[in-house]
Amino acid sequence: MKFTAQEIAEKVKGKIEGNPNVKLSLLSKIEIAKQGSITFLSNPKYIPFIYKTKASAIIVDNNFIPENKLNTTLIRVKDPYTSFSKLLKIFSFEDIKPYEINKSAQINKTAKISKQIFIGALTIIERDVIIEESVVIKAQCFIGENVKIGKNTIIQNGVKILSNSIIGKNCIINPGAVIGCDGFGFAPQDDGSYNKIPQTGNVIIGNNVEIGSNSTIDRATMGSTIINDGVKIDNLVQIAHNVEIGKHTVFAGQSGVSGSTKIGEYCVIGGQAGIAGHLKIGNNVKIQGQTGVLRNIPDNKQIQGTPAIDFNDYYRSYAYFKRLPDFDDRLKKMEKKWLLNLNFKKQ
């Protein structure tokens, strides 16, 4: 995939300084870039590299003023990081042939599929599936009965989307993710055994959602597990049955949410954080990594620890916790001195 600097500038709404016709075919880090590649400068720490990089073009901030001579084409934009992210998306799909259905794919005759679609090798699509235009479904995916997939969504290799799930527009579901799997529901019996509770609901995923590799989203016992617009879920995340996640909330890797918990909008959940079931987490809540949330959290809180407490309280407490060995030594010395004085007075 090749573009001229001018074509790249048009895609990111930037202004050219230098040769608009230079050919660009590779995205690179600024410190290792070669001729024919395009990179970006966002972090001031990397400014020294701009004067010695071999990149043919660099995306920079509108306000960047070079202190030395440059041997590259500049593309000036408002936000270099965001603009380069757009290019990453464009270049990442160069291996996809648009509107192609692999001959080895198995598609049920009742499925309603747009002509403008890509379906990879060995993918299975079952009864009454609806897939809108410009959807990409890569190799070895499974799409269950009555699934609906919105426009421009990308399903990467090996994804399983089980029956009755609804996927919105412009979503990305990364390799190995499982959507609509059986929720974890068992009723304890008098003899100590467990009877399985049927999970009869589904999963609804909004627009512009991204789900990381090997993450799982369980279908509801009844009703729906709901992932609202703009949610971003990292790799190896577990979302249990009947969970609801508000718009633009972000999950880092290995975090998990237990059943029937409601999480608000614009929250940030750190890596390996665990949230117990049947809780309500407010809007704009920040949960630090490895935190265990066992109670409801109101809006705009920042929490850490297990059980979770206020972020600032946690670090004040931790400051004392680190000094406990020193306190113990001091206490033993004081105790020893007190015993010596006591013995002396008895004598």
Q: What is the pLDDT of residues 192-234, one digit of tens each?
A: 999 999 999 999 999 999 999 999 999 999 999 999 999 999 9
Contacts of residues 139-142 at CB distance under 8 Å and 24 or more positions apart, as own/partner, are 139/102
Dist. CA 39–CA 58, nearest whole Å: 5
Amino acid (1-letter code) at residue 120? G
What the block records as the tokens of 256 is 């998990």
Confidence of residue 344 (pLDDT cuts 50, 70, 90): low
Q: Which residue has the higher pLDDT, 230 or 330?
A: 230
Pick the CATH number of 3-91 from 3.30.70.20, 3.40.50.150, 2.30.42.10, 3.40.1390.10: 3.40.1390.10
The whole-angstrom distance between residue 84's C-alpha and the CA centroid of its chain comes to: 18
Residues with active-site annotation: 241
Confidence of residue 96 (pLDDT cuts 50, 70, 90): low
Coil, strand or helix: which one is 26? strand
> Are 144 and 127 in contact, with CB atoms under 8 Å apart?
no
Domain boundaries, the chain: 3-91, 106-311
Superfamily of domain 106-311: Hexapeptide repeat proteins (2.160.10.10)
What the block records as the tokens of 293 is 């949330």
Predicted pLDDT of residue 336: 80
pTM of the model: 0.79
314-331 in b/e form (b: 16+ CB < 10 A) is beeeeeeeeeeeeeeeee
Question: pLDDT for 16-40, tens place per residue?
Answer: 999 999 999 999 999 999 999 999 9
Predicted pLDDT of residue 345: 64
